[in-house]
Structure 1
Amino acid sequence: MSKFAEVNLNKQLRNAIDDLGFEKQTPIQEETFSKILGGKDLVGIAQTGTGKTIAYCLPLLQELSYSNQNNPRILILVPTRELVAQVVETLKELTEYIDCRIVGVYGGTNMNTQKIGLQEGADIVVATPGRLYDLALCRALQLKGIKKVVIDEVDVMLDLGFRYQLTNIFELLPNKKQNIMFSATMTEDVSELIDSFFSKPEKVQIALSGTPLDNISQTKYAVPNYYTKENLLANLLADKDEMKKVLVFVSSKKIADSLYEAMSEFYLSELAVIHSNKSQNYRFRSINQYD
C-alpha cells in the first residue's frame, strides 16, 4: 500500500489527512484515486470497512474549486440517514482547511429545515434517495449544476427498494457528469443500473462481500439454541480487555430487542440497540455514545 505522502494532494487536504493520522492508503483508495481524477465513470466493488468513503471523497475534493454559486456540484447518495451523517462528518474533517459547504439531507426529519440549509448554498449534498427526490420535486434543490455523482452501497440501496427514486433522480441530472458507484456485490440489479446510466465505466474490484478483511480474525461457536447463545454472549462480553467496543449483528428487530433485554441485566449502562423502529434521535444518540 502506498503512503498518503506520495499522493498528489493539495496542501489543505494533506494537512487534513495528517490531522486525522492517516498514513497508508487502503487498496480501494490506491486503485480509485487517479481513476476518479481522470473523469471517467467508475464502478468499485469493495465491501464495507475498506475505506470507500475516503476513496471517493479525496479525489472529489482535490478537484473541487471555490464557487459562490448556490447549487451543488457534487451529489453523494447513500442508503441510510446514519450513513449520511457519517459521510458528512468525514467530509467536514477533510475540509478543515477548505471553504466548502456540505449539506446532508435524509428522511424522518423536518424537510423545511433542510430546505433552509440548501437555500444558503451547498457545494456538496449528501442524501438518501427518497428525501433527495422529494426536495428536487418541490424545487428546493436544483440538480442542473451537478458535475459528479457518487452512489455508495448501491446494492443495499436497491435492496431497500430505492430503484424507482434512483431512476428518477438520474433523469433529473445533467447528461454530462461523472458517475461513480460503489457496491459490495455485483448483482443483476446493480448491473442493470450501470447499463442504464453509466458510460463505459472503469471497474475496480478489491474484495467481494464475504471475503474477510486482513485485520479481522474469525471464531465460530457452535451452540444448540438461542438461549445458550445469550449466555455465551454475556460471558464473552465479560472479558473487558478483549471486548472494549462491540457490535452485535442479529437477523431481525425482534431478536435485537430480545437480546438487548437479556443483556441489560448485566450491561444496562453500556448497551444500545439500533433498528428502524427506533427514532432518529435515539439512533444518532446511540452511535454518538458508541464513539
Structure 2
Amino acid sequence: MSFKKIIEPLKDNLQRNGITKPNPLQTEILSKIRGGKSLFVIAPKNAGKTTSIVISVINKLKAAFEDAPRALIFVKDKEESLKLAEIFNTYSKGTDLRIYCAYEEHNMELQREELYLGTDIVIATPKRLNRIFYLNGINLNKLQMCIVEDAEFLFRNSNFAEVTRTPESIGRCQYLVFSDNFDDRFERWQDNFMHLAEIIELE
C-alpha cells in the first residue's frame, strides 16, 4: 500500500527519507485524521506517532495562509519543541509552511513579536502558550488542529490543566492526542471537548 492523497512535496520528502508506504499505525489513522476525526492514538514508542503528526499537519495545511496559526502542537519542553520543528522542516521542504517554537527559555516579548509576523504551525509548551495567549500575543481563532505529542508529560506539574484551558478559548477544532497509554484522566476531555473522539490502540 502506498501513500494516497498526499501533496507532492510531502510525498517527495517522504520518499527521499526512505518512507515509501505507511506503517501499520499510519494505515490505521491517516485517513481518519484527513477526514477531520478527533482521535486518541495509543501506541508504543517507535510506532510512528511523531511522523504521523508531521504527515497529517503538512498534508492538511498544504501552504502558508494568512498570519494566525492553523495547527498547535503541545510538547513537553524546549528540547522536544526544537526536535519536532526539525522534523517538520525536513518534510515540509518545497512548501512555504511556517513553523514556530514557543517555550519558556525564550524572551516573551520577542516571541510575541515573532508570532505577530505570522506562522502556520506552532509547537509549544503548555505554560508558555497560555502566557502568550493571555497577553494577546497569539490568535487562535483560525486553529484547525490541536495536537498533543507524547501526552505522558501532561500528568506532571500543571500541564494537564494548562492544555485543558486551550479548548475554552477556541472554536470548533480537530483534537489529536498521541500517547503510549490511555490515562483515565483523558475521560475529562471526552466529557468536555473530545466527546466524539475515537480511541485507536495499536499493540
TM-score where L is the length of structure 2:
0.93
- The 1-side partners of 2:178 and 2:117 are apart by 30
2:176 paired residue among 155, 163, 180: 180
1:197 paired residue among 193, 197, 200: 193
**Equivalent position of 2:90 in the other structure:** 93
**Equivalent position of 1:12 in the other structure:** 9
Amino acid at match of 2:163: L
Q: How many residues align?
A: 203
**Equivalent position of 1:269 in the other structure:** none
**Equivalent position of 2:126 in the other structure:** 129
Alpha-carbon distance, 1:48 to partner: 2.4
- The 2-side partners of 1:6 and 1:131 are apart by 35
**Equivalent position of 2:103 in the other structure:** 106
Matched, 1:38 2:35: yes
| Backbone CA RMSD of aligned residues | 1.6
Alignment of 1:223-234 (within 5 A): none
Identity %: 26
Q: Deviations over 1:74-123 (max 9, x none)?
A: 11111222111111111111110101011011112222232222111001
Stretch deviating more after TM superposition (71-80 or 19-28): 19-28
Q: Which has the higher contact order (CA 8 A, sep 6+)?
A: 2
2:80 paired residue among 60, 83, 87: 83
Structure 2 gap segments, 5+ residues each: none
Matched, 1:145 2:122: no
Structure 1 gap segments, 5+ residues each: 208-291
Alpha-carbon distance, 1:44 to partner: 0.4
- The 2-side partners of 1:190 and 1:140 are apart by 28
- The 1-side partners of 2:65 and 2:153 are apart by 34
Which structure has the greater CA radius of gyration? 1
Runs of 4+ in structure 1 over 4 Å off: none
- The 1-side partners of 2:157 and 2:77 are apart by 10
Is residue 154–residue 190 contact of structure 1 (8 Å, CA) maintained in 2?
no
Matched, 1:62 2:41: no
Alpha-carbon distance, 1:31 to partner: 1.0
Alpha-carbon distance, 1:137 to partner: 0.6
- The 1-side partners of 2:153 and 2:192 are apart by 18
SS at structure 2 position matched to 1:204? strand
- The 2-side partners of 1:69 and 1:129 are apart by 24
Cα separation, partners in 2 of 1:20 and 1:167, compared to 1, 3 Å: same
Cα separation, partners in 2 of 1:10 and 1:65, compared to 1, 3 Å: closer
TM-score where L is the length of structure 1:
0.66
Alpha-carbon distance, 1:67 to partner: 4.3
